[in-house]
């Protein structure tokens, strides 16, 4: 794990709101675990500076977006958080308690999980209010599916030559994965919108980063 003894507390202030060393350390350690797994597969060393930079940028961005949502009077109810937790657990084919326990392996207790879900839902509401509900045309869904199918066939390659029916990795039919494709496109659109809004807000914000 990275040594964070030199990190000050707070690590940053966003319009007067402090971001604590604990928040920063938790995110760095979680990302470090993920990057270490990727590094083992790729053989590339873990870039600790990149992890730190991404962590502080992510925390500043989240804080700015949460503040903007609060300024607009947007709120998330406990029922909405519970419903989202249930959906996450269902997607991972585990119970809600098992899902929370799984997150605990990344150093997050139940309260932390619920707070993260609340933050995510709040920011989604903000993005929707700013840019409108997401909708994709049938053509966009088809194009995204075709791109994934093409990449999958290329990765199969070799003796199979990407031919249809060439193995267990074959992409399922479009109708079978249409909803997943739509969710993926929605996630990508939200990420871009969040970045755009974050950059707009940061231009007018009082942000002090101490690391």
Opening angle at CA 133, ends 130 and 136, nearest 5:
130
Q: Are 60 and 12 in contact (CB under 8 A)?
A: yes
17-19/12-14 β-pairing: antiparallel
The rounded distance, in Å, linking the Cα atoms of 102 and 94 is 10
Opening angle at CA 179, ends 173 and 180, nearest 5:
80
pLDDT digits (tens, 9 = 90+) for 42-93: 778 888 899 999 999 999 999 999 999 999 999 999 999 999 999 888 888 8
pLDDT digits (tens, 9 = 90+) for 79-95: 999 999 998 888 888 88
Rounded to the nearest 10 degrees, the angle between the axes of helix 110-131 and helix 78-91 is 100
Q: Are 6 and 12 in contact (CB under 8 A)?
A: no
Which has the higher per-residue pLDDT, 32 or 16?
16
The rounded distance, in Å, linking the Cα atoms of 94 and 3 is 34
Which has the higher per-residue pLDDT, 5 or 10?
10
Which has the higher per-residue pLDDT, 16 or 163?
16
Provide the pLDDT for residue 135: 87
The rounded distance, in Å, linking the Cα atoms of 34 and 36 is 5
> pLDDT confidence of 3, banded at 50, 70, 90?
confident
DSSP code per residue over 9-67: SSSEEETTEEE-HHHHHHHHHHHHHHHHHHHHHH-PPP-HHHHHHHHHHHHHHHHHHHH
pTM higher than the cut 0.85? no
Provide the pLDDT for residue 158: 47
Which residues are registered as beta bridge partners of 14?
17, 207
């Amino acid at each position: 794990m990275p040594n964070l003894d030199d990190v000050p507390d707070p690590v940053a202030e966003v319009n007067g709101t402090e971001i604590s060393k604990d928040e920063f350390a938790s995110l760095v350690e979680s990302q470090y675990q993920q990057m270490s797994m990727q590094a083992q597969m790729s053989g590339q060393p873990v870039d600790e500076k990149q992890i730190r930079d991404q962590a502080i940028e992510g925390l500043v961005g989240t804080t700015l977006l949460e503040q903007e949502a609060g300024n607009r009077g947007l709120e998330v109810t406990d029922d909405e958080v519970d419903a989202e937790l249930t959906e996450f657990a269902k997607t991972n084919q585990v119970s809600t308690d098992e899902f929370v326990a799984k997150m605990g392996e990344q150093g997050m207790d139940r309260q932390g999980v619920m707070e993260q879900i609340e933050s995510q839902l709040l920011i989604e509401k903000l993005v929707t209010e700013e840019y409108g509900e997401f909708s994709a045309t049938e053509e966009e869904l088809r194009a995204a599916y075709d791109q994934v199918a093409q990449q999958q066939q290329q990765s199969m390659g070799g003796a199979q030559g990407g031919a249809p029916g060439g193995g267990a990795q074959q992409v399922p039919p479009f109708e079978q994965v249409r909803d997943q494709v739509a969710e993926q496109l929605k996630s990508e659109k939200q990420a871009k919108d969040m970045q755009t809004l974050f950059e707009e807000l940061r231009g007018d914000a009082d942000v002090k980063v101490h690391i």
